[in-house]
Amino acid sequence: MSLCSFPSELFCRVLLVATLSLCTVPAFASRDSVPDWVAAAAAKPMATYSAETSAVVLLDDTTLTVGADGKGVEHRRHVVKILRPNGRDEGVVWIPYDKDTKILSLHVWSIAPDGKQYAVKDNEMVDVGYPGQGSLYEDIKMRAVRAPGRDPGGVIAYEYDQRKEPYLHEETWMFQQEIPVANQSFTLELPPGYTYGTVWAHHDQQKAADLEHQRYRWEMNATPGIDLDRVPMHPSELALAGRMTVHYAPVGTSADSLATWRGIGEWYEPLMRDRVLSTPEIAAKAAALTSGKTDFYDKTEAIGDYVQAQIRYFVIEMGIGGQQPHPAADIFRNGYGDCKDKATLLSAMLSSVGVHSTLMAVDHRRGVVDPLAPSIFGDHMIAAIEIPKGYESAKLRSVITAKTGKRYLIFDPTWDKTAFGQLEYNLQGGYGVLFEGKDTEIVELPVLSPELNSVKRSGTFQLAVDGTLKGSLTEKRYGDVSERMRSLYTESDAKQQRSFLDESLSHDFTTVDVEDVKVENAASLSKELTTSYELTAGRYSRSMGPLLMVRPRVLGTEGLPVDRKVRLVPIDLRGTRLIHDDFTIELPDGFAVDELPEPVKLDMGFASYESSSQLTGKTLHYSRTYTVKQVSLPADRYGDLQKLALAIENDEQNHAVLKKK
């Protein structure tokens, strides 16, 4: 897998359906008989599945045959039955390939719901670019076809042979996916003298059946699908899906050494060693950026900000380029690069001012990288900057300590809305591979303090007798919760900015007018993004006879999208955060408070929520603090999350009751 982001399989399939609809593909393939193995899989009695199951894989058999030179050929047979209309996309067959993974043969068959059998001809297949290539160039293509008969009750099958020329002798078997799999196997065929080892992620280790003559097979039956479509606050499918990575090695080397993080690091070190070298031009730029700066943080921040903001994200990957960065000199000269490239240039620039740094492989989906399953499975690269021994600064937030005792500041120069010294929410609490040659190790990434991801709203308002609310509001955002609005105020026009503000306020007001909008620090990631404006909201209060109903919480919705179903998968809380609201409403003359909402104080450990409504003279004061301290929870804490969600919902809808004197 490439060490820079790839679209998800579901995303690829959706885009392929759209792409193929624009291609000239015959509506029906020729009538023909399907092979016996397809007919046998289709005829086998099928288990009962839930009404939400869109399709089921009846058979998936993969055989990897490795030659004496380490190169291999993958043979695969796949049969899927469509159960519901939303399963039609499973009838889109697509096989990725590049210059090193040539497709030697591909055959596609189908059995329509009416029993008619079809065989797709070679001229009915199309070769298309990999979906999502708007900001990247890769030599990866896909051979694809929309099989006929892909309707409920239809069966789609394919068989292919594909050349494998791996840069690292490992292969990952993804045996769990979105839909259930009835029967599947993975067979490894090795030359004499070769050894192998396996690591398993999100699944207990299974022993292979020894078929003799260096042939080994793993089988899985009745593997459940991972359908997260209707599951709120769920982790990535890949953070749950079981997978096996097999490492194999020729005579004189050990497969077991490859199946360690150190082994992965020693393999990768030669790929990056010469790429991170500085040049006179790079050194001159680094010197200019750090001129007059002597503090470690100040120097590294200046270079980090430059690479983050001035080196454009653009991917050019061919062959080994999926894993190996371009030379720092090329990245600097061109002014663009992918995630590996940006981390590489950062390392080269830092080295020229006496700061050591290295690369760290991660996945942008928390939980995908498994510390117990060493492999190159991941999709992103960031930087680890070594902190001088004894150096301390409150600005260093995203810090890890390696087994060597060295401390590193973890920074992602690709994520352009995260301040230097911090780490984006989706990486926090996950794992990264710290590449340091023989000292390479897997490290847990830090979970940052809620104060570093905060929203603070304050406002002073006056309520008129007719229910109109007028006043001024100031909102300060810092960290990931400011990302969307920073993009809005630095990249969008005034019309889009106003439309966003109006839409946001419509959640809390029936009618609202905003004037005198001011925005500060939108481009300054290390400062709070501050937005202030004057607000007039009609019909804010509601009359009920002599009573007037007023909501103390003027604006800001922090509800949680929970449901009442039994929870089976972990809970993704996205990130830690701190929300604080402070509002005062001057009440109209002639009214007194008849009833105030009860104060709320709830501490669930992973999060806390506290609010109060108080009356001083004729001023109603509302204050609340909502703190999320963890980024994920096990499924058995869902009841606590539901309790928290209910408390927030009730508090946000509470009203103070005013009564005419």
Q: What is the CATH number of the domain that holds 307?
A: 3.10.620.30
**pLDDT surpasses 90 at 146:** yes
Predicted TM-score of the model (pTM):
0.91
139 in a structural domain? yes
516 and 433 inside one domain: no
Task: Note whether 197 and 267 are same-domain residues.
Answer: no
Query: Which candidate, 14, 153, 31, 23, places its Cα nearest to that of 89?
Result: 14
Residues 320 and 232 reside in one and the same domain: no
Pairwise pLDDT comparison (279 vs 28), residue with the higher score: 279
Mean pLDDT of 128-152: 77
pLDDT of residue 591: 86
Indicate whether 389 belongs to any domain. Answer: yes
Residue 592, pLDDT > 90, answer no
Residue 555 inside a domain? The answer is yes
Residue 490 belongs to domain with CATH number: 2.60.120.1130
Q: For 173-200, what is the mean pLDDT?
A: 96
For residue 318, the model assigns a pLDDT of 58
What is the domain extent for residue 49? 36-253
One domain for residues 434 and 524: no
Model pLDDT for residues 58-80, shown as the tens digit of each residue: 999 999 999 999 999 999 999 99
* 246 beta partners: 171, 198
Whether residue 14 is predicted with pLDDT greater than 80 in this model: the reply is: no
Q: Residues 464, 536: one domain?
A: yes
**What is the average per-residue pLDDT within 429-450?**
97
Q: 108 and 46, same structural domain? A: yes
In a domain, 285, yes or no: yes
Token output for 251: 């005579």
Instruction: Quickly state the pLDDT bin for 137 (edges 50, 70, 90).
Output: low
pLDDT at 252: 83
In a domain, 275, yes or no: yes
Indicate the range of 12-26, 195-209, 533-547 predicted with least confidence. 12-26
Domain termination site, one of 415, 448, 481: 448
Is the pLDDT confidence value at 320 over 70? no
Element (H, E) at 40: helix 36-43
Please provide the average confidence, as pLDDT, over all residues in the chain. 92
Give residues with Cβ within 8 angstroms of 554, minimum separation 6. 459, 461, 469, 473, 508, 581, 583, 585, 622
Q: Is residue 21 part of a domain?
A: no
What is the DSSP track for 280-343? Answer: HHHHHHHHHHTTT--SHHHHHHHHHHHHHHHSEE-EEE-GGGGTSPPPHHHHHHHTEE-HHHHH
pLDDT band at 15 (very low <50, low <70, confident <90, very high): very low
Q: Which residues contact 625 (CB under 8 A, 6 or more apart)?
A: 578, 579, 580, 608, 609, 610, 611
Block residue for tokens 């999709």: 379
Between 520 and 98, name the one with better pLDDT. 520
* Backbone CA torsion sign across 535, 536, 541, 546: positive
Measuring CA to CA, which residue among 417, 416, 353, 339 is closest to residue 383?
339
Averaged pLDDT, 613-622: 94
* Residue 137: both structure tokens together: 């160039």
Output the domain CATH number for residue 147: 2.60.40.3140
Q: Is residue 20 part of a domain?
A: no
Is residue 1 one of the residues assigned to a domain? no
Indicate the number of domains in the chain: 3
Whether 135 shows a pLDDT value over 60: the answer reads no
Predicted local confidence at residue 131, as pLDDT: 58
Are 461 and 402 in a shared domain? no
459 lies in the same domain as 594? yes
- Decide which of 420, 448, 476 is a domain's last residue: 448
pLDDT of 33: 87
Residue 21 confidence (pLDDT) above 80: no
Q: Inform me whether the pLDDT recorded for 319 exceeds 50.
A: yes
Assess whether 441 and 475 both reside in one domain: no
Instruction: Find residue 96's DSSP bridge partners.
Output: 142
| Stretch 130-138: mean pLDDT | 54
Question: Looking at residues 92-96, what average pLDDT do you find?
Answer: 94
- 248 with 279, same domain: the answer is no
600-603 and 656-660 as β-strands: parallel, antiparallel, unpaired?
A: unpaired
Report the pLDDT value the prediction gives residue 41, as an integer from 0 to 100. 97
Burial of 424 (0-12, 13-18, 19+ CB in 10 A): buried
The predicted structure's pLDDT at residue 369: 97
Is 619 found in the same domain as 531?
yes
Which residue, 195, 219, 253, sits at the end of a domain? 253
pLDDT-derived band at 212, boundaries 50, 70, 90: very high
Q: Kindly state whether residues 455 and 545 are assigned to the same domain.
A: yes
